[in-house]
Amino acid sequence: MELMALITLAAASLITALGCFARSTRRTIIFLSMQAIAIGTVELVHCLINLIVGLNIEALVYFFITFAEWFLAAAVIPLILYWGVTKTENILDEPIIGIRRLILFASLITPLYVGLWLFQSPALQGKMASLPFCMLMFSLSIFLISTRNDSLKILVGLNMAENALYPLLAESPITLIPFILALMIFVTAMGTYIVVEAYRDYGTISVNRWRWLNK
CB 30 within 8 A of CB 16: no
10 Å CB burial of residue 177 (0-12, 13-18, 19+) is middle
- Residue 159 confidence class, pLDDT cut points 50, 70, 90: very high
Average pLDDT, integer, range 191-199: 93
**Confidence (pLDDT) at 127:** 60
Distance CA 41, CA 33 (A): 12
Report residue 129's pLDDT band, with 50, 70 and 90 as the boundaries.
low
- H-only helix segments in 148-176: 151-164, 166-169
pTM of this structure: 0.85
Average of per-residue pLDDT across 109-128? 60
SS3 206: strand
Q: What is the pLDDT of residue 57?
A: 76
